Amino acid sequence: MESARSAKHWVTTFNLYSAPGGEAPTLNGVTAAFDMTRDQLAEALGDEPAYRTDQVWRQLWERGTWPEAMTDLPRQLREQLAKVITPALREVARSESRDKTVKWLWELPDGARIETVLMIYPGRATVCVSSQAGCAMACSFCATGQSGFTRHLTTGEIVEQVVAARAAAAPRRLGNVVFMGMGEPLANYDRTWGAVERIHDHLGISARHITVSTVGVVAGIRRLAQEDLPVNLAVSLHAARDELRNRIVPLNRRYPLSVLMGACSEYAAAKNRRLSFEWALIDGVNDTAQDAAELAELALPLGAHVNVIPLNPTPGYLGRGTPPDGVRAFCGYLMAHGVNATVRANRGTDIDAACGQLAANAGGRRPRTDAGLAIPAAAREALGEPVSRPGRKGATLK
């Protein structure tokens, strides 16, 4: 009985956190379990003995156990907790490719959809998480960019993807987390960084096994350089001259290459971490010897590692991936000029889990052209710049 009373108190307290001005972020009144801090959990457990906080916290974070399966709690408390500590991710579909890559399509409490990809290698596993539902950056060749922006994810929604992937990877250790799923992590800076801290502090994954990938949000890279945890930084470059990059990565019109390289160099100096450049090789667009020479000129002074991947085809973009001979020639050129380069294996292609193919919100997909003078309004809005737009679709974070 006592625990039932406490659980009632718990529910009341919990609702306080959902109120405007409360600490835990809420989405349409729902708090993701992994958004709660330990103190919030302790306070919310109210009259329950102090050890309960530890008990619930550890099961949630260390084992990914949800309240209904916390069999060491009194049944009534468990049932009450199950009403409020609920998963933010509902599995809509899960597919497994021939190379054991697992892709989930999740639905969030407000109906937004995101994807997570788990890549399994001998003895270890890497999860690729989404940081936003959709993306406002509008890179022409990227499926998520083609589908547009829905909303930012909360910290807890990002963390829960890692917790789910860790369970699926067992008995292999989930060793690496890469922010290379849907969305632009640095356009959702605070929640992304909150997730990095929680993944590090509570899931025990070290900073050097966490990689934040950005299309080049310079303001975000500069903030990242001030943080304590030295995560790896990957920059999706794809073009090493402004004229071309303006066309395929519209954000370049806001942060041209000279500014972006300045921020990269600041990051490398501050963190002493390996910087990498991502380069999706597009047949006849960015795969010539001249492109390789321009890339080498940017990569060498920064000691950047280049990850080359032949473009994965997406419905809204006409370009195709460079054929294998061209990929070899491009990498050969880079290496002959002293640049560290690897060709990234294209995993999960048979289940559309490969880079840039994540497009869970495909409903809004529209073909894009590379033309245009300004960066898209949605991208400016996502970066916190004022934009006048009639009405907005989708949920907002309160």
Smallest distance, Å, CB 358 to ligand SAH?
A: 8
Smallest distance, Å, CB 344 to ligand SAH?
A: 9
Q: Which residues bind ligand SAH (CB under 6 A)?
A: 139, 141-142, 180, 184, 213-215, 236, 278, 280, 309, 311-312, 314, 355-356
**CB-nearest residue to ligand SAH:** 356
In the bound state with ligand SAH, the residue whose beta carbon lies nearer, of 180 and 383, is 180
The C-alpha atoms of residue 256 and residue 243 are separated, in whole angstroms, by: 10
Smallest distance, Å, CB 96 to ligand SAH?
A: 21
Place of tokens 């917790």: 163
Smallest distance, Å, CB 142 to ligand SAH?
A: 3
The pairing of beta strand 102-107 with beta strand 113-121: antiparallel
In the bound state with ligand SAH, the residue whose beta carbon lies nearer, of 128 and 174, is 128
In the bound state with ligand SAH, the residue whose beta carbon lies nearer, of 85 and 137, is 137
Smallest distance, Å, CB 145 to ligand SAH?
A: 7
Residue 355 annotated to the active site? yes
Instruction: Say how many C-beta atoms besides its own lie within 10 A of residue 338's C-beta.
Output: 9
- Active-site annotation holder among 139, 142, 264, 355: 355
In the bound state with ligand SAH, the residue whose beta carbon lies nearer, of 165 and 311, is 311
Q: Which two tokens stand for residue 199?
A: 């993944």
311 close to 320: Cβ distance less than 8 angstroms = yes
In the bound state with ligand SAH, the residue whose beta carbon lies nearer, of 202 and 253, is 253
- Active-site annotation holder among 48, 115, 157, 160: 115
H helix and E strand count, the chain: 13, 12
The C-alpha atoms of residue 102 and residue 96 are separated, in whole angstroms, by: 4
β partners of residue 115: 105
CA dihedral defined by 220, 221, 223, 227, rounded to 10 degrees? 130
In sequence order, the 6+-apart residues with CB closer than 8 A to the CB of 46 are 6, 9, 10, 13
Residues marked active site are found at 115, 355
